[in-house]
């Protein structure tokens, strides 16, 4: 039998939607924390295939999700392009910046990312062997705009101000950087598919900060280019797009980009999305992550409400953003039960 997640991505409406969860391998799980400690630091965990595969498998063993998503980070692509990358405990990632032409000129060509990223491909090969036959393996990358915001600012920012400033002040350099990231992302995701990924997802975490014109140029257009290139190289490969914060611009995103599924953040009303986004195909989402902290009947009720809202078309149940470190693992089990046993 075809895997349920692939059936949903193919446009099938299922009585019970497949379930997985963004950041399902993460700090809320004690087994993850133990493996992270064994690795020593976050980047070592990403680049040690046996350990990265282990943390990817942990939530599958514990919960029986319908999909496993590769454990990695969207900032591995900038590192593979030649940016310096490190993580500050309690604060997050830091990168050397690209703000001038000489910074851009020092980057590697897109085709030269594979040596750095080869451990990620080995992780996928391990997972392709070890995952249960019913579980879909998802690869991923950051979308070019979101990756560019980190490369320009050197860190996450509240409003992506440095990226907007470069875009408005030196559009030639900004667009050259976006093109380089786009080309590298195609290479990276294509290699992930060759290593065993059955689906790939583009995370555009900061798409919502783009105005309508820039959203078309810097969120829609790169997603369309990446999707078309992957489907040309790997016919039939499903692509999930996640332009977080897109609001009403989620409508039409699938048609404009060619993605097979649109992931929705939890600011979007499920009933609205059913009538304006799901009409074009599969949707994914969109429970608010805080429900996995607070739990209770509200968790069950909201989970069931979302499932009901999307019951008329293809749907993958997920959160509207990644699960948070303070989530209760028992609430994840309650969420799954509410989807499957409602």
pLDDT tens string, the chain, 342 residues long: the values are 689 999 999 999 999 999 999 999 999 999 999 999 999 999 999 999 999 999 999 999 999 999 999 999 999 999 999 999 999 888 889 999 999 999 999 999 999 999 999 999 999 999 999 999 999 999 999 999 999 999 999 999 999 999 999 999 999 999 999 999 999 999 999 999 999 999 999 999 999 999 999 999 999 999 999 999 999 999 999 999 999 999 999 999 999 999 999 999 999 999 999 999 999 999 999 999 999 999 999 999 999 999 999 999 999 999 999 999 999 999 999 999 999 996
Q: Which residues on neighbouring strands pair with residue 199, listed in sequence order?
A: 138
Q: Is 36 a catalytic residue?
A: yes
Domain closes at, from 186, 220, 251: 251
Determine the straight-line distance between the first and last CA of the chain, rounded to whole angstroms.
Answer: 23
Are the C-beta atoms of residues 54 and 9 closer than 8 Å to each other?
Answer: no
Q: Is 32 a catalytic residue?
A: no
In terms of domains, do 97 and 241 share one?
Answer: yes
pLDDT in the model for residue 1:
60
Residue-range definition of the domain harbouring residue 11: 1-23+264-342
CA dihedral 259, 260, 266, 270 (to 10 degrees): 130
CA dihedral 184, 23, 62, 193 (to 10 degrees): -20
In terms of domains, do 161 and 212 share one?
Answer: yes
pLDDT in the model for residue 88:
87
* Domain annotation covers residue 138: yes
* Domain annotation covers residue 145: yes
pLDDT in the model for residue 60:
98
In terms of domains, do 124 and 153 share one?
Answer: yes
CA distance 209 to 28: 29
Domain closes at, from 230, 251, 272: 251
In terms of domains, do 80 and 137 share one?
Answer: yes
Domain closes at, from 198, 216, 251: 251
- Starting from the edge strand earliest in sequence, which strands make up the sheet with 315-319, in order? 67-69, 136-142, 199-204, 239-243, 261-263, 282-287, 315-319
Q: Is 150 a catalytic residue?
A: yes
Are the C-beta atoms of residues 47 and 117 closer than 8 Å to each other?
Answer: no
In terms of domains, do 125 and 196 share one?
Answer: yes
Diameter of the chain measured on Cα atoms: 58
CA distance 215 to 243: 9
Q: Helix axis angle, 114-130 relative to 49-63, nearest 10°?
A: 40
* Domain annotation covers residue 304: yes
Our measurement of the distance from residue 302's CA atom to the centroid of its chain's CA atoms, rounded to an integer in Å, reads 23
Q: Are strands 92-95 and 85-88 parallel, antiparallel or unpaired?
A: antiparallel
| Choice among 66, 73, 204, 280 that is catalytic | 73
* Domain annotation covers residue 38: no
Task: Work out how many domains the chain is built from and give that number.
Answer: 2
Radius of gyration, alpha carbons of the chain: 19
In terms of domains, do 208 and 272 share one?
Answer: no
For residue 9, what are the contacts with CB-CB under 8 A and spacing of at least 6?
199, 238, 240, 260, 261, 282, 314, 316
In terms of domains, do 135 and 279 share one?
Answer: no
CA distance 216 to 74: 22
In terms of domains, do 198 and 78 share one?
Answer: yes
pLDDT in the model for residue 2:
87
Helix or strand holding residue 87 (H, E): strand 85-88
Residue 129: CATH number of its domain: 3.20.20.210
* Domain annotation covers residue 61: no
* Domain annotation covers residue 241: yes
Residue whose pair of structure tokens reads 């004690």 in the numeric block? 30
* Domain annotation covers residue 29: no
| Choice among 28, 47, 63, 150 that is catalytic | 150
| Choice among 7, 27, 94, 305 that is catalytic | 27
Residue whose pair of structure tokens reads 């451990």 in the numeric block? 119
In terms of domains, do 1 and 75 share one?
Answer: no
In terms of domains, do 83 and 195 share one?
Answer: yes
Q: Which residues on neighbouring strands pair with residue 318, listed in sequence order?
A: 286
Are the C-beta atoms of residues 51 and 45 closer than 8 Å to each other?
Answer: yes
In terms of domains, do 155 and 6 share one?
Answer: no
> Taking the complete model, does pTM exceed 0.95, yes or no?
yes
| Choice among 23, 180, 244, 249 that is catalytic | 23
* Domain annotation covers residue 80: yes
Q: Is 73 a catalytic residue?
A: yes
| Choice among 36, 180, 244, 249 that is catalytic | 36
Helix or strand holding residue 78 (H, E): helix 76-80
In terms of domains, do 15 and 82 share one?
Answer: no
């Amino acid at each position: 039998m075809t895997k349920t997640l692939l059936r949903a991505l193919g446009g099938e409406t299922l009585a019970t939607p497949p379930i997985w969860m963004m950041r399902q391998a993460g700090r809320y799980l004690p087994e993850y924390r133990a493996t992270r400690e064994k690795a020593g630091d976050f980047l070592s965990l990403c680049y040690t295939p046996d350990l990265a595969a282990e943390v990817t498998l942990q939530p599958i063993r514990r919960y029986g999700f319908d999909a496993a998503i590769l454990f990695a980070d969207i900032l591995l692509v900038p590192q593979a392009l030649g940016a310096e990358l490190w993580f500050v405990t309690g604060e997050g990632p830091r990168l050397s910046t690209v703000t001038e032409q000489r910074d851009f000129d020092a980057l590697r060509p897109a085709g030269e990312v594979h040596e750095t990223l080869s451990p990620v491909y080995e992780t996928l090969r391990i997972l392709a062997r070890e995952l249960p036959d019913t579980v879909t393996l998802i690869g991923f990358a950051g979308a070019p705009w979101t990756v560019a915001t980190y490369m320009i600012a050197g860190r996450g920012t509240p409003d992506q101000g440095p990226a907007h400033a470069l875009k408005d002040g030196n559009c030639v350099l900004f667009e050259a950087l976006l093109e380089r990231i786009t080309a590298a992302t195609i290479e990276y995701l294509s290699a992930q598919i060759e290593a065993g990924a059955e689906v790939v997802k583009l995370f555009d975490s900061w798409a919502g900060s783009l105005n309508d014109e820039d959203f078309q140029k810097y969120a829609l257009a790169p997603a369309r280019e990446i999707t078309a290139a992957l489907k040309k190289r790997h016919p039939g490969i499903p692509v999930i797009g996640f332009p977080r914060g897109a609001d009403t611009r989620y409508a039409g995103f699938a048609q404009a980009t060619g993605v097979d599924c649109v992931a929705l953040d939890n600011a979007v009303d499920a009933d609205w999305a059913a009538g304006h986004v799901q009409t074009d195909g599969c949707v994914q989402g969109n429970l608010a992550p805080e429900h996995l902290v607070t739990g209770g009947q509200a968790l069950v009720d909201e989970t069931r409400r979302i499932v009901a809202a999307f019951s008329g078309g293809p749907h993958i149940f997920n959160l509207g953003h990644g699960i948070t470190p303070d989530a209760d693992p028992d609430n994840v089990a309650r969420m799954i039960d509410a989807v499957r046993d409602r």
